[in-house]
Structure 1
Amino acid sequence: MAETADNKLGGMFRALRYRNYRLFFVGQGISLIGTWMQQIALSWLVYRLTDSVFLLGAVTFSSQIPSFLLGPFAGVLADKFNRHKVLLVTQSLSMVQASTLAALVLTDTIEIWHILSLSAFLGIINGFDISTRQAFVVQMVDQREDLSNAIALNSSLFNMARLVGPTIAGVLIAVVGEGMCILINAISYIAVLGSLLLMRLKPFERVRQHHKVWSSLQEGFSYTFGFAPIRALIIIVGLISLFGMPFTVLLPVFARDILHGGANTLGYLMGASGLGALTGAMFLAQRKSVVGLGKVIIFTMSLFGMALMAFSFSKMFLLSLLLMLFTGFGMIVTMASCNTLLQTLVDDDKRGRVMSLYATAFMGMAPIGSMLAGSVAEQIGVAYTLLGCGFLCSMSVIPFAVHRPRLRRMVQPIYERLGIVPEIATGLQTASNLTAPPEER
């Protein structure tokens, strides 16, 4: 029994056996804690300065809309240029942005236009960083069968930071103010830059492409939206970002005006969501066989929507924390499952472009939803707005549930060709013991 548990635990962290991925994991972990600290500090600062739900949405819009506009071009860049060097540039520029923002807040010269401008600058950086980072994971993990584990560990890392960062930020804001949280984020970029510089990578070989940028974009769009399974996953990510992600924009209002708390209350709510998401990511990481992942997406997206609806009318702090756990779990399992399926479906030479469209759906639709939610909340209140968001999330997964059997049949030949799914003649027993990436939609 103990040996089985050890093997299971070892399997959960198997992607960490690769040196480059270990470096990336540690560096990103430190940096992401700082990122979440800055996000909480900035949300609280904006609401403290303006008392406007609309401006909360506007700041999120300005920080994320560049991903919607630049994402497809960033995918071409990720397929054409050295991803390692691109990440060094984007992470360095992110450090400059955080340092500038920290200086303005600490000197008490910050104004809302500063926040909007610097958020837009960070959004431009992230437009190139996210798709490149998604595609770069493949270079750090040598064995295809460990790719799904690496993606799940990335999600675990992201949400562990979301658990720790907001909790620390909530305390620090109350004691020393928002500026110190942002300064810590600026310093944290040293860790990720150091990890990137310490990596030992194969020499970069630039693939000669005869297609121009526009032709590459058209090819990427045709490839992504011309194949129903990939298209369905991108649409799910876009819908959950449009209708579900705005809940983070509205949390400062719930923390201060509905639960009658302070910055620490906001930190605890975000921390609870992070704990739920971390649980979900670890749930995915320990799955050696991911048969049934399509059913998991249907369940977790429905759970996410229902948890949002229940949270919208909760006025009890402990109940709100519990509902945030379910919200975080449902959101991250849905997103990470879609990511894993996409990574294992796409051809390597188009990976950057497809993942840029994933990033566009993920980071690009959220600002539109945030802006809409902020505007609607000004008219009908945050509770009814979040209730509507949760309802739309739950309804959005119905078409995927209806078409899942057909989508599964479409991806089966691809996974058989790649060796991820054994030939039918090898029998169901072999299939049940697979440790490869997803085989069911």
Structure 2
Amino acid sequence: MSVPAAASPNFSDLTRERPFMRMWSARLFGTAGSQMMLVAIGWHMYELTGSAWDLGLVGLYQFVPALLLALVAGHVVDRHHRGRIVAACLAVQGMVALALLLAVQGHHDSRGLLLGLSLVLGAVRAFQMPAQQALTPLLVPPLMLSRAMAFSSAGMQGAIIGGPALGGLLFAAGTGVVYGASLLFFAVGSLLVVQVRYDHAPPRREPVSLSTVLAGVNFIWHRKPVLGAVSLDLFAVLLGGAVALLPIFAKDILHTGPWGLGLLRSAPAVGALTASILLTRRPIERRVGRVLLIAVAMFGVCMIVFGFSRSFVVSLLALAVSGGADMVNVVIRQTLVQLETPDAMRGRVSAVNSIFIGASNQLGEFESGATAALLGPVGSVVVGGVGTVLVALAWFRLFPSLAARDRLVRPVSQG
């Protein structure tokens, strides 16, 4: 996307974009409500069954429908009003919270109910994620999009940190209270989205076919900068993740208790929040392709340091820096994908992107466990970190157009 050269907007300009700020607030409430409800469902399931297997099923039941419906959801997002889709998704999650609240109060809660509602949540998120991603570029000018993405990420990270913490405090009053608070948060978020106003041009109607549903896949395959950015993130998360192994590191390697595990799990989010705040104030404007690849390589280096570390403080710092490096990757990648994609395709492209993210997270945990069984936890993390660095270096050669990308928004030549 090319725009006339202009002075870079500042943070105060962003906060004056009322539709964006309203949507940002809605995502804050929605994410916090979702985090609280997920914590409550996990705790609730374990109270009912005492089974680690059932805890795993809760996550699986949310992942499968999100994966199966992603391409269809992207097609729907490109054909209908995205704000209404997001509002509907938040409202449905509120109804799930209400159903759980009523079940707890009426003593009708069960394993089957929790798993069934987990399927609903997974299906809803298949539509919510691409709709939210595709909506943001319509709420701010192109030159503000990188700053808007960073500010959105800051809010998301804050909600991811604060939502479970608030849910934990509310647990003292009972599981039903957490579900009630989640219901309130979803209701506020949905009402805020309904008030978001933007220019919506209904797309040209075309018959639904396999080619239209798969158009997002085809678009990414033929846009090398987009393919490079999306596939880079896939391999980085697939190889470099260490979250699944944190309990082993906390107990057997760093010799801390549950409090240490909690700090280790929160460290990447703290680093990501810090980086997103800095990127909101000072967005990356030059050499964005090179910065993206260096950030992924830095993520891999952090994993290598974490794998070898026997100091709890060093491990925390390595994880925090990895979270910051990953946030640089996220902001540049998401902004690049949105700017390179025509509005009529953004829903389908965002849906494919969400498949990559979801699959890499799930497969990354499996990869960590499988390699840990063969090489031990330290070997697994170190090998994954080395692999991430090598992938980042390889992408310089495999995707030269991405590595050479200077600006996210290419200014029109004034000659």
2:151 to 136, 150, 153: 153
**Is 1:366 aligned with 2:364?**
no
- Correspondence for 1:162: 160
Tell me the amino acid that sits aligned with residue 157 of structure 2: N
Counterpart of 1:194, as a letter, is: L
1:272 deviation in Å? 2.6
The correspondence of residues 97-176 of structure 1 with structure 2, limited to 5 A, is 97-101=96-100, 115-141=114-140, 143-169=141-167, 175=172
Question: Does 1:268 pair with 2:266?
Answer: no
**1-structure distance, mates of 2:264, 2:299:** 15
TM superposition shift of 1:136: 1.0
> 1:57: how far off?
5.3
Structure 2 counterpart of 1:421, from 385, 398, 411: 411
Call closer, same or farther: CA 1:248–1:105 in 2, change over 3 Å. Answer: farther
* Aligned equivalents of 2:373, 2:109: Cα separation in 1: 25
Residue in 1 aligned with 2:197?
Answer: 200
Change (3 A) 1:391 1:292: same
Verify the 8 A CA contact 2:161 2:266 in the aligned structure 1: yes
Q: Is the 8 A contact 1:272 1:325 kept in 2?
A: yes
Q: Which residue of 1 aligns with 2:206?
A: 210
Return the alpha-carbon distance in structure 1 between the equivalents of residues 366 and 120 of structure 2: 18
Displacement after TM superposition at 1:253 (Å): 5.8
2:185 to 162, 167, 188: 188
One-letter code of the match for 1:361? F
Give the corresponding residue for 1:439.
none
Q: Give the whole-Å Cα distance in 2 for the aligned partners of 1:20 and 1:32.
A: 18
Question: Which residue in 1 is equivalent to 2:232?
Answer: 236
Cα deviation 1:302-326 (Å, max 9, x = unaligned)? 2222323433465654444323311
1:65 aligns with 2:64: yes
What's the TM-score once normalised by structure 1's chain length? 0.78
Across the aligned residues of Structure 1 and Structure 2, the Cα RMSD in angstroms comes to 3.6
User: What secondary structure does 1:321 align onto?
Assistant: helix
Equivalences, count: 407
- Structure 1 alignment gaps of length 5 or more: 1-6, 427-441
CA contact (8 A) 2:88 2:190 kept: no
**CA deviation vs aligned residue, 1:145-174 (integer Å, no higher than 9, x gap):** 11222111111111122332344455556x
Q: Contact conserved, 2:85 with 2:131, CA < 8 A, in 1?
A: yes
**Residue 318 of structure 2 corresponds to residue 323 of structure 1:** yes
Distance of 1:189 and 1:357 partners within structure 2: 26
Partner of 2:215: 219
Is contact 2:228-2:399 (8 Å) kept? no
Matched residues in 1 for 2:118 and 2:150: separation? 28
- Is this contact kept in 2: 1:79–1:352, CA < 8 A? yes
CA apart distance, 1:285 = 2.1
Q: CA deviation at 1:58?
A: 4.8
Moved more, 15-24 or 383-392: 383-392
Task: Please give the alpha-carbon distance, in whole angstroms, between the structure 2 residues aligned to 1:251 and 1:270.
Answer: 7
Q: Distance in 2 between matches of 1:123 and 1:60?
A: 9
- Supply the distance in 1 between the matched residues of 2:43 and 2:18 (Cα, whole angstroms): 38
By how many angstroms is 1:277 displaced?
0.3
Match of 1:336 in 2: 331
Q: Say whether the 8 Å CA contact 1:62–1:367 is kept in structure 2.
A: no
- Give the CA deviation at 1:21: 1.1
Q: What are the superposed Cα offsets for residues 185-218 of structure 1, whole Å, 9 maximum, x if unpaired?
A: 332112211211222344x442223342322124
**Aligned 8 A contact 1:58 1:370 in 2:** no
The DSSP-based 3-state class of the residue aligned with 2:232 is helix
Residue number in structure 2 paired with 1:87 = 86
CA shift, 1:279, in A, is 1.6
What residue number does 1:74 align with?
Answer: 73
Whether the 8 Å CA contact 2:40–2:167 is kept in 1: the answer is yes
- Partners of 1:108 and 1:249 lie apart in 2 by 34
Secondary structure at 1:207 match in 2? coil
SS of the residue 1:206 aligns to: coil
- Counterpart position of 2:15: 16
Identity %: 23
Mark the runs of 5 or more structure 2 residues left unpaired by the alignment.
1-6
